[in-house]
Each structure stands twice: as structure tokens, then as C-alpha cells.
Structure 1
């Protein structure tokens, strides 16, 4: 009883401290526990927290286009194009699970999309099937259980494939580069392994941040044992997706996480992202939590749970129907050793969902032609620090700074070793995109 009352008092304190203040972002996580954020000089108001992707595109990029790309299996993938005069190249951004294009755009001038657009690149930002802007199908609606009968496998061989073909033709047979994170990497690996020559033709380089494939070395393998229960519940309740914007989970997250972002970051770290104590940016975390999550199919979640159990990067396991689907009793492994397109891996040992052992195995399986640009191992960053880390540009996106009298020089603020790795990685990236 005493413990119950203590917990109740704690949550009452949390709710009481979540007063309706105008200020919504602070310079440190401890500032969010200050009773009145409006009286805290370390806190301010960020209006971008409540904007959607089109509003952010209009506010910071000005000109943008909306393209509805049809897939071979009847879905329509809405993709935002941000043109650039005399562009250095074209980049297709592939987002994480439980998000859409907003993950690349949501921080305005601090966003990754803005970073590359300012450096002269034309941008294409995909919203995969089932997310807020890609809910159209030739004869199904998002309220139909059959609409959600897809995993990241179908997203890779249909959505990604259709997007690359569309952009290639739109840009007069010029191929883009891809920057992907998390599930976007899984989709890219699937496509590039099953259509190796086409994947090489349609994309100059696949830059994969925190790439989940197998989970043999993940400390979260225990999550796989919930797959049977999860599949049964989803089938019985006709639950095709989770994390829909107006759903219960999303409403709870939007009520708590933007106001107490450190609590939610701790949960994310423990159950997926991994630990990076000094990396999360307190000014950005509440914005990300308010803008996300977005819908994820239950089949995709089941597919990942399957990999937690097997420790292998395989196609979806249909159980007794495997022989009917694949002509064999076990689902086949994705043949990543057949990839011939350049694959540039960016990963960290602190990442639980793309652990070092699994990423090393993936890298070892790639052919020499796929590894021509090498890889970048980033210390001390977790699964979502590509977007959220204070040093995300310096460590990953290779921050360029305008130096008076010597334009676009590399701003060397880190150690010689890290700065050297950053410069080499940026050279590789720009060389590949402009080839």
C-alpha cells in the first residue's frame, strides 16, 4: 500500500508539473521539471512542434511538390519533392518505423532534410504505405484489415522500387542517392538483395544509418518470444496497425512525452534505442515526441519479432504455409551477399536494434563492390541519435561551416581522429552522389 501511494504521488507530481505553459522546449532535461516553464529563462516556445510536413516544407523550403507514386500491388505512396536549382545531386530519404517524412523535416532549420538542402541537394521524402499521407489503395481503405497485410518486405520490393523508378525517370535517367534510417535500411537491403542489378542502376549509393537486419547479438532478443501472442491478438481483433495518430497510445505519448521527454527517452533507450546518456538534445526531443508516432503495420512488427527469435535476416515466416509460399519449410534468407550497389553503413556499438555484432556480420557478407566506400562506426550514439543527438551533424552528417574568406571549409571541432573520419566519409558521400 505504501509503495502504491508513493507511485501515485509521483505520477500526480508529473501531471501537476505538466501545466499548460506557452513555453514548450528547454535547454536541459531538468528544466522540464520546473513547475512553470514560462518563468524559466532556459525555456522558450517552438511553434514547429505543432506543424505537419507540408506546413514545415512551406515555412522553411518555400517551394515543394507532392507526387503520388503508384505501386505494383495497388498502393499510392505520397512523396514530397524539394527542388534545388543547379543541384549537386538528388537524395531520397527513407524514414524509420512509426514515423514518416516528418522525422527528416520536423526540426525546421535544425532538421536533416534542411541540412542537405542548404548544401545544394534536391530532396525526395517518402511516406511509406499506411502512414498519414499514404493511405490510398485502388480498392481498400485503412480501416480494412486487408489493407495492412504488408511488412517491410512489401515496402522494399514495391514502395521503394516504385519510388526509385519514378525518380529515375523524372530526373531524365539520373539516379539518386538514398539516406535511410532503421526500417528504411531494412527495406533498402531487401530491395538491393532481391533486385541487385536494378538496385545498382537506380541508386548511386545506399547510405544506411542504424541498419537492422538480423538480431543475433541484440540484448532485446527476449522480445521475440511475444510474437505468438502478438500475432494471435492481432488476428483475433483484426488489428492491422498500431500507433495511429488518433489512437490511445499516441494520445498518451503526446500528453506526457513532450512535457517530460527524459522519461520517454529512458523508456526508448531501455526497450530499443540503446543508451547514449550525453547525446539527446533537450530542445529537439519534445518536438519529436509531439510529431510522432505514425502508423506501423502489425505484420512488420511480427516480422521483426521473428528475427529476434531466429537471429537471421529472413523473409516472413508463414509457418505451415511456408511451403506453399516459398516451396520450402523455412523462410529463405535475404541474399545480401548478392548486393552489387554501393552500401555505406553508419552504426554505433551503443545501438540495441542494430547491434555491432549483427552489423559486422552484415558488412562481412557484402561483396567488395558493395563495400567500396567502407563504413562509419560512431561511438556513443543510439538508434535514434541520427536525428536527436546534439552532435548528430559533427558525428554523422559531417557539418560544414562557412568560414570567412574560405567558404565551405570543414569545421574541425572534434579530435583529429574523428575529424579525419568525418572528412573521409563526406568526401565519399559527395563523390558518390555527384558521379
Structure 2
């Protein structure tokens, strides 16, 4: 069975992990700007009868991030926004906040949360469609893309948390999918955000990428992690572009690769532990870290009293069951009443954001978790 450009586009946007080139850290302060430029609010929220505000947050290293706020439910009489519990929703790798709004409104997590009394904030990480600006760099400049996901931990997530905390004056509930779980776990392990977070719901968590479900995963893991800028020129990833299309066709032509079902087959495998960006050459690692190998994010350092909900699927080729078990082992000393785990036998990676039954199976459980006594 062949695969279409649309299938490839969604597959890559939803599943392909990337490590871009090393970072150049600037000394910029964080600033906050409100804008009325059309974006996610206009196209996917206001059209359904919800209030929505487009915002911008500038990170300490100068990236201007798009942020959407849905302060209340549809048809709700306007009240004081800060009285509601804030929720930050963080998308996965190479997609943006729009990924949460692809289904009808009654099936979309941000709108469900808004209708259930939460003050919803949709984050968009650097380099994505709505966060492709910098105070001094242009996306056409390779320096704009000179970062890895470590910068999302060091700059993007803190900038968004700081802004929401400043605006609401309340601790924040957090929902992350895929990469959104990775950067949260890494942040918590280093003591970041722990004084601002109220609870965290981690859907299809990514931490220990050590198990491979298919030959395609093996080839992809050896090929694309950290090498996209070499293959395609810029780290800005265009899944409809000819280079990417050719790249995937070459993967699927590899001996032993069956691309019949790319959506569930592709997985990402590297070292089997969570570490900072690897400069490959020990000399460069030593220059940046003072060590020959990149430092590890020790997930056992996550404070044991942070309420955490984890949901993972039996058919998820990226958030592999064995790797989630390893993650749970890292959390074995977590306060028993502060850790909730859900296993969904038939769920795959994309079901958490696009499944038509996600509301009944996952989102209602997330709502119940956020409404538990320790979260109120």
C-alpha cells in the first residue's frame, strides 16, 4: 500500500523527533507583548463561539513565542479570569498548538477544559508555524535554528510558565503530549517550574527511547536524529517538501522496511536514557559541559509531591510500553497518592490528540485528575 503526502506530513509532524544544532545563548530579557494578528484563535477557536486572545512571549534568548488564551467556556458569562485554574497545554514535536484543535470543538481538549471552568493557555514552541520570530534573527539565518530541545527546557517552557503565573497569580496545571512530556520531565528533574506547577498530565510520555518496534524505527533513529539541518539545510521542517519526501521514500526502500502502516510503525530510538544535547565529539562536549559526555536528566530527582498523571498506549510505537515502564521505575519513590497511571491497550501516539473517543477515554480522566482534592 502506498502512502500519500498528507499521511507523510502528519506522520512526520506527529512523530519525528529532532535535535537541532547546538545553542548560542543570548543575554536577552523576557518581554511580553499582546497582538491581534490572526492565528490559531481566529481560525480554530473564535469560530466555535469561544473567546480567545493571541499573545506573544519573548524568551531570554530572544525567541518570540505565540501563546493563545481561552479564558472561559462557550456561551459563558464573562467573569474574572484569574479566579479559574490555569492550564498550559504543550504540543508534541514539530507540530504547534493547532494540533489540539483538529477535531470538532466538543472533542478538542483545550475547548473541553475551557467548558469545564479552566483558564486555558496553548503554547507554541520556537520554530513552529506561529513562533517563527526572534528579536534579532531571521528564520532564513541558520543561527535562528541553532538550538536543540534543551532550549525548550531552559527557555521556552519557563517563559510561558512565568507569563501565565504572572497573569493569573496561581499555580498552573500542565498538559503535555509527546515532546511536551519530555521537556516537562526534564524541567522538573532540574528543579525548574516546580514552584509554579500545580499538577501535570503527561500523555504518551517520552523519556527513555530505548525500544524499537520496527526496522523502520532502527533506520530512522540512526538517520534523522540530529541530522535534519544537514539533510535539509534548515531545521525548519517542511513535510511537504521534496527533500523530506525523498528522504522517506529512501527509508521505505531500505531492506526489511515495510511502510504499510507508517503512522504506527515509526519510532525513535537513541541512547535509552534522557540526556542533554550530544555534541558527539568529546572535546566539544567538554567545552560545553565540562564533561566528555552530555549530562543526564535524572528523573528520580523530580519532587515526589508533584501530582502527576501518566497515560500511555499499548500500540504507541514512540512512547513504547517498555520505556514507559522504565519511566515509572524512575518515579517509584513518588508519593503514592500523587501519581496516577492509565494504560490504554489499543491507543497509539496520535490517538491522544486526534482520537474521536479521546474525550471519553482520556480527557475526562484528565479533568477528574485536575479536580482531585489536592489540585483544588
1:53-90 deviation line (CA, Å, top 9, x unaligned)? 52222111432111111111110111001112366411
Could you say which residue in structure 2 is the equivalent of 1:157?
A: 154
**Contact 1:175 1:203 survives alignment (8 Å):** yes
Match of 2:69 in 1: 81
From 333, 344, 347, the equivalent of 2:309 is: 344
Relative distance call for 1:57 and 1:336 in structure 2 (3 A) is same
SS of equivalent residue, structure 2 residue 134: coil
- Decide which of 170, 173, 181 is 1:177's aligned counterpart: 173
Aligned CA distance change for structure 1 residues 192 and 220 (closer, same or farther; 3 Å): farther
CA contact (8 A) 2:142 2:234 kept: yes
Partner of 1:98 in structure 2? 94
Alpha-carbon spacing, 1:236–1:131, altered in 2? closer, same or farther (3 Å): closer
Using the TM superposition, give the Cα deviation of residue 248 of structure 1 relative to its aligned residue in structure 2, in angstroms. 4.2
Residue number in structure 1 paired with 2:286: 323
Deviation digits for residues 261-316 of structure 1, max 9, x if unmatched?
xxx993211224xxxxxxxxxxxxxxxxxxxxxxxxxxxxxxxx6xx232111111
TM-score by length of 1: 0.66
Please tell me whether the aligned partners of residues 40 and 68 of structure 2 are also in contact (alpha carbons under 8 angstroms): no
Residue 182 of structure 2: aligned partner: 186
Conservation of the 8 A alpha-carbon contact between 1:89 and 1:176: yes
- Equivalent residues in 2 for 1:11-22 (5 A)? none
Report the Cα distance in structure 1 between the residues aligned to 2:136 and 2:222, rounded to whole angstroms: 30
Out of 144-153 and 78-87, give the one that drifted further: 78-87
User: Equivalent residue for 1:311?
Assistant: 272
Partner of 2:233: 238
- Conserved in 2, the CA contact under 8 Å of 1:108 and 1:114? no
1:133 corresponding residue in structure 2: 130
Structure 2 partner of 1:203: 197
Task: Write the deviation string for residues 336-383 of structure 1: whole angstroms up to 9, x where unpaired.
Answer: 111113322111122111111111111111242487132111121001
C-alpha contact (below 8 Å) 1:60/1:108 kept by paired residues: no
- Which structure would you say has the larger Rg? 1
Partner of 1:72: helix, strand, or coil? coil
Alpha-carbon spacing, 1:375–1:164, altered in 2? closer, same or farther (3 Å):
same
Q: Say whether the 8 Å CA contact 1:350–1:381 is kept in structure 2.
A: yes
Match of 2:327 in 1: 362
Structure richer in helix, relative to its length: 1
C-alpha RMSD over aligned residues: 3.0
Shift in alpha-carbon separation, 1:92–1:52, aligned structure 2, 3 A: closer
Is the contact made by 1:176 and 1:204 (CA closer than 8 Å) also made in structure 2?
Answer: yes
Write the distance in 1 (CA, Å) between the matches of 2:187 and 2:159.
11
Could you report, residue by residue, the CA deviation over 1:356-414 in whole angstroms, capped at 9, with x for unpaired residues?
1111111111242487132111121001101222321221112xxxxxxxxxxxxxxxx
Three-state SS of the structure 2 residue aligned to 1:241 is coil
Does structure 2 retain, via aligned residues, the 8 Å contact 1:79–1:124? yes
For the residues of structure 1 that align with 2:297 and 2:198, how far apart are their CA atoms? Answer: 21
Distance in 1, matches of 2:228 and 2:100, equals: 33
Partner secondary structure for residue 133 of structure 2: coil
Alignment gaps of 5+ in structure 2: 6-38, 73-78, 247-258
How far did residue 123 of structure 1 move? 0.6
Choose from 393, 396, 415 the match for 2:359: 393
- Distance change >3 Å, CA 152–CA 265, structure 1 → 2: farther
